[in-house]
Structures are given as C-alpha cells and as structure tokens.
Amino acid sequence: MTTEAIGETPAQPAGPARGLRGLLTRNPVVLKELRGRMRGPRAFIVLTAYLLLMSAFVTLLYAIYVASTNSVYNGASSQVVGKFVFGAVVGIELLLVCFIAPAFTAAAISGERERQTYDLLRTTLLTASALVFGKLASALSYILLLLIAAFPLQSLAFLLGGVSPQEVIIATLLLVATAYLFGTSGVFFSSLMRRTLGSTVLTYAFALLATLGLPLVLIALLPLTSMLFNNAPPGPALETILIYGVGFLIASNPIATAVVTEVLLVTEQTAFYFPLPISNGVTLPLVSPWAPFLLFCLVAGTLMTIASILAVRRAET
C-alpha cells in the first residue's frame, strides 16, 4: 500500500551539499536548467547555426586573404592574416558573450518569481547560494560550450601562423571573465527586480555601459583634455592621473582591454609590464590591461553574486 511506502521514505536528508564543489556538482538547479536547455532540437539547432555562421565568416576572411595574395600588394603575409582571423573570431565571440550572457541570466531569479515557483523553492531546503550558483553555473557552462565549440575555428589561425599561445590563453581568459561579469550581473538584477522585463533592461544597460560606455566617456572628455593641453602643458601630476584614469577605464571594458592588450603585444612585445615615459622624464610603471580587467571581473562579479544570495535569502517583508 502506498501509505506505508510514503511513510518509509528517508526523513533524514543525505547531508547538505557543503562547499563550493557540492554547490555545483550536487545542485538540483544545475541539472534542471541544463536538462531544460538541452531538451528537444533547439539546443542542437542553435549550436549548429552558430558554428555555420562562424565558419562562413572565417571562410570569407580566408577567401579575402587568398584574393589579396594575387593582388597588387601581394605582401600580405600569412602571419598577418592568421592574426586577423584569430582577432576576428575572438572579437565575434566577445560580442556574442556580451549579448548571450545577459540573455541567459536576466530571468534567472525573476523568471522563477513570474512562474510562481520561487515561493516553492524557498520553502524547500534548497539554500539561497545553491539557487544562485546553480543558475549561474548552468548559464556559464552553456556559454563555455559555445566557446569550446568555436575553438577549432580559432585554431585555424595556428595553421596560418602569427598567433602565440600567450595570445590564445589571454583571449580565452578575457572571454571567460567577460561571461562571468555579465552572467553575474544578470543574476544580480534578476534577484533585485520582481519582473524579468525590468531585470533584462538593467542587465543590458549594464552590458552596454561596460562595452560602449568607455568610448562615450572618452568622446565626452576629449574636448576637455584638448582644452587643458592647449592652454598649458599639463603638470606631471595631472598627466599621471590622466594616464592611470584612462588605464582604469580601459581595464573595465572588455573590448578596449582586448584591443589595447593586442596592440601592446604587437608594439611593445609584452603581455605584462611596460614602462611609459612622460614629459618630465619619469617613467610610469604600467601593466597590460587584461590583468586588471580579470581582477575587475572577479571582484565585481563576486560582489554581485554575494548580493544576489543575500537578496534571495532575505524573507519578504
């Protein structure tokens, strides 16, 4: 009889999933989200379309290269093209991450509220951190899948040459860090907002600010600085502040970070430290922006994750 069978179910739980590893591996939310995302033909179609588009793009670039070797210039070395293909693929992936990471996470918590399953989850023994980590991990793992799937295309650049392992590692780190930053921002806004619409607007506003905000700031500052420089040469103190200020702005922007890192690699032959002499003869110690950018993503993303957990943990008042 069923009554007895129910009565026999173990009342004592298997022990809460402790630690970060437990939060990720023994997390029912991860399983549920991935199961939902991979169900049916949709996941397959998305992945196929994505790879087809990327391949078409790389083929186009390659065709341009082949055509250019027969052209009047005839000087385009395969190394330059290799760099170009690699940069283009990474650039597209970066844009993709900026669009997809918010889309995958902006409904993470608010979607549960709208589906009216949030209250159900909160009355189970599922902890706030398990819910937040589960949502984040499942979104990030899908993005990681997209990045890994495009890896063969990236390595086409190796055939052409001109791309160092250093560049590949830095590019991968940048992509993952960007996905983490925008993924956590989506979870964060969805834990604050009641509605997915509001959360989506805020998440994309954040993503736009982080990617396009820097050029806008620079455009706004340009007249100001030129005015300063025209009237009187800036003092070394002001110059130092300006350089570090612009440096911080660059290191908070994934696109600027990628571009400046690559430029430094080509012009200064460095991926880490480089000295910059200023007008009074002093050299300023500077680092390639990818390292501070990773730090920025790690800190900002982790702070937003903690804030999301606190928002979920708090009982409604």
The binding site for other proteins (CB under 8 A) comprises: 2-3, 5-7, 9-11, 13-17, 28, 31-32, 35-36, 39, 115-117, 119-126, 315-317
Nearest-approach distance from CB 311 to other proteins, in angstroms: 14
- Residue with smaller CB distance to other proteins, 116 or 269: 116
Residue of 148, 115, 156, 109 whose CA lies nearest to 132? 109
Residue bearing tokens 């300063």 = 228
Nearest-approach distance from CB 129 to other proteins, in angstroms: 13
CB 154 within 8 A of CB 86: yes
Residue of 249, 264, 170 whose CA lies nearest to 212? 249
Q: What angle do CA 48, 54, 59 make, to 5 degrees?
A: 120
Nearest-approach distance from CB 38 to other proteins, in angstroms: 11
Residue type at 186?
G
* SS3 label, residue 259: helix
Nearest-approach distance from CB 107 to other proteins, in angstroms: 13
**Token pair for residue 100?**
């997809």
Residue of 274, 278, 277 whose CA lies nearest to 289? 274
- Residue with smaller CB distance to other proteins, 5 or 237: 5
Nearest-approach distance from CB 169 to other proteins, in angstroms: 37
Task: Give the span between the Cα atoms of 224 and 252, in whole angstroms.
Answer: 22
SS (H, E, C) 170-231: HHHHHHHHHHHHHHHHHHHHHHHCCCHHHHHHHHHHHHHHHHHHHHHHHHHHHHHHHHHHHH
Nearest-approach distance from CB 136 to other proteins, in angstroms: 17
- Residue with smaller CB distance to other proteins, 78 or 119: 119
Residue bearing tokens 């950018």 = 293
Please, what sign has the CA dihedral across residues 290, 170, 287, 269? negative
**Token pair for residue 7?**
């009565």
- Residue with smaller CB distance to other proteins, 22 or 234: 22
Q: Where are the beta strands (DSSP E) in 68-195?
A: none
- Residue with smaller CB distance to other proteins, 115 or 148: 115
Nearest-approach distance from CB 236 to other proteins, in angstroms: 56
- Residue with smaller CB distance to other proteins, 7 or 277: 7
Nearest-approach distance from CB 29 to other proteins, in angstroms: 8
Kind plus residue range of the DSSP H or E element containing 284: strand 283-287
CB 306 within 8 A of CB 282: no
- Residue with smaller CB distance to other proteins, 6 or 232: 6
- Residue with smaller CB distance to other proteins, 21 or 39: 39
- For 182-204, letters b (16+ CB in 10 Å) and e give bbbbbbbbbbebeebeebbebbb
